[in-house]
Amino acid sequence: QVKVVESGGGLAQPGGSLRLSCAASGFILNDHHIGWFRQAPGKEREGVSCISRNGISISTLSSVKGRFTISRDNAKNMVYLQMSDLKPEDTAVYYCAARRGSSSATCTLIKGQYEFWGQGTQVAVSS
């Protein structure tokens, strides 16, 4: 059974940090590109950062570049999103998603390209 489960969300103060984790099961993680997406109330889901199956290709939303870092540990079937210098506008439900990809492909922040989705983890940034 394919499963993607996010964890690590919570409440943070502006300027604070959180690390989100994405645990994958039921499929071979290193055959898949992984993306982190977020959806704030009343807004569309947007791509935050993605990482290719081999970790070489990374794309990041411009508004979080320099603050958020995606990484993966295929041996542990885990992907992470380290978020630093958090801002109130980062408040959203964060989702992890997976899509099968070739070893030469780059990842994408287009949500429609992803096959498997987690249930999301809430991140709230407030003083």
Tokens of 75: 């041996």
Tens of pLDDT, residue by residue over 106-121, are 899 999 999 999 999 9
Contacts with 80 (C-beta within 8 Å, 6 or more apart), sequence order: 19, 20, 21, 22, 70, 71, 72, 73
**Residues 6 or more apart whose Cβ sits within 8 Å of residue 102:** none
CA–CA separation, 118 and 54 (whole Å): 21
Residue 8, helix vs strand vs coil:
coil
Does pLDDT of 104 surpass 80?
no
Is the confidence at residue 53, as pLDDT, over 90?
yes
Closest to 96 in 3D by CA, of 49, 62, 59, 53? 49
What is the pLDDT confidence band of residue 29, given thresholds at 50, 70 and 90? confident
